[in-house]
Structure 1
Amino acid sequence: MPVTGGATVAVAVRRLGSGVSAGYGDAVFDTASIVKVDILAALLLRAQDAGRRLTPRERTYAAAMIESSDNDSASVLWRDIGGADGLNAANERFGLARTTGGDGPQWGLTGTTAADQLMLLGHIFGARSELSEASRTYLQGLMGRIVPGQDWGVSAAGDGPGWALKNGWMPHDATGLWVVNSIGRVTSGGDDCLVAALSSGNPTKEQGIALVEEAARSAVSAYGRTM
């Protein structure tokens, strides 16, 4: 597992044009709020299976959960999808082999890997997906409207206009060390890239942000020359 200054970091990148991906680090990390993307993907999948669209209530909670990372909204939709069981069932269809929903109401303690998050991003931004085109477009739109102050992370790896992302951050009560994660799509060198950068053991949130941003920049730059 790659470790930087006492913190552990993993990163995975895929260029949408070529479909080629690469990664560094295979540790399992707590998701914190990046799981909100997975929660919404699971909700959209359930709605598709039922042959319906999201209700106005669901859309209100979904927008707050993604755009401003509202935790209460996430808790409501977590219950709506059936908690960890519902998330795990959706992730089996998405191919997320190493992602396990958090116990009880603790959605932020869902465990995941950078490779799994890259797989999830592929279902949101790629053409081959369990999600319908309408579901993908909806999720992409919310991830492109993150409120100011929460738009850090993988966006640092882009050199073109536009990004779509979701970040997660939380301190562990026992240690005071921070989990800081970022997933999303950026444009680099004229290509769309999917990026997942996960970290744990950060002394502060700010140091975690700096770490995942550097990991995302380095990965897109390095892998972009070989992919």
Structure 2
Amino acid sequence: MLNRTLSVVATAVTLLAGAAPAAMAAEAGSGTTAFRTAVQAPDTARVTAAVLDLDRTGAEPAVYGDDTPYDTASIVKVDILAAMLLHARDHRRDLTARESAEAQVMIRNSDNTAATALWRAIGEAPGLTSANKRLGLTSTQGGPGGLWGLTRTTATDQIRLLGAIFGTGATPLDTASRNRIGTLMTEISTGQSWGVSAAADSGWALKNGWLMRTTTGRWDINSIGRVTNGGHRYLVAVLSNGNASMPDGVNLVERAVRTAVSETAAG
């Protein structure tokens, strides 16, 4: 959670069912209609979901909604930790005891003080950008100065990040780093275990983000992670903004993830 409120205007727009990447246009095209109908985002809110079935050979991410940038709020903490682990490895060292403790509370409890310390340690936005080039993210821009929660990203970029952690392909993160991030994402504190977990019928690993805009009172609510459903493992990213309240946003995200995973499984 980003405890500090920020004076940034959140544009209120209607939910759009945009085109998926070209490789998935035929598969996701019909699904986006069902997604829009089932999710029923209010006129003040916008939501996008991206899903990748890790157990389907040759699968590409299916995108539901308009895959344009959203503010990350606290989901960026996963990216910060990945960047920190790359930074430490580049310097042929492990995280210090203090950095390790900060990483744990940053992911498990969404601690903002710890996130700020690690954000500075990686070199803030330029350091995040450098790490993301290696991780394959192409549409993520770090927040200005110390405002890591105003990092901008897309649902498909978050799938790329999750793929570097949970996927089976080549990644600059070593096995120990991947396991470290993945394990922390299964240890989220009880009050923060909502979001993509709504689509899981067994295991999940996640990180959520939530931020209220002071100028509008509207909420950014995001959730990313891996879920297991029907024996398949899915990487899922759901991003939303313009929610009237945090509970409304959580409900929207959970409707979106259930629908998107169901549509992807049926595709």
Matched, 1:57 2:98: yes
Q: Deviation at 1:133?
A: 0.6
1:87 corresponds to which residue?
Answer: 128
The equivalent residue for 1:142 is 184
Partner of 1:163: 204
Q: Alignment partner for residue 47 of structure 2, among 9, 12, 33?
A: 9
How many positions carry a matched residue from both structures? 225
Q: Partners in 2 of 1:116 and 1:211 — Cα distance?
A: 21
Match of 2:227 in 1: 186
Deviation string, structure 1 residues 105-135 (Cα, Å, up to 9, x no partner): 0000000000000110000101221110110
Instruction: Give 1:73's aligned residue.
Output: 114
Tell me, in whole angstroms, the C-alpha distance in 1 between the residues paired with 2:68 and 2:15. Answer: 9
1:22 to 53, 57, 62: 62
Letter of the 2:48 partner, please give it.
A
RMSD in angstroms over aligned alpha carbons?
1.0
Read off the aligned partner of 2:176 and give its amino acid letter. A
**Partner of residue 120 from structure 1, selected from 161, 177, 186:** 161
**Structure showing the higher strand proportion among its residues:** 1
Q: Displacement of 1:27 after TM fit?
A: 1.8
Runs of 4 or more above 6 Å deviation: none
Q: Percent identity?
A: 54
Q: Which amino acid aligns with 1:103?
A: P
TM-score scaled by length of structure 2: 0.82
User: TM-score, normalized by length of structure 1?
Assistant: 0.97
**SS of equivalent to 2:223:** strand
Once the two structures are TM-superposed, the CA of residue 159 in structure 1 deviates from its matched residue by 1.3
- Shift of residue 51, structure 1, vs aligned partner: 1.8
Question: Equivalent residue of 1:9, what SS?
Answer: strand
Cross-structure match for 2:33: none
1:2 Cα deviation after fit: 2.8
1:127 partner letter:
T
> Using the alignment, how far apart are the partners of 1:17 and 1:52 within structure 2?
34
Which of 110, 119, 143 is the equivalent residue of 1:102?
Answer: 143
Structure 2's unaligned 5+ residue stretches are: 1-13, 17-40
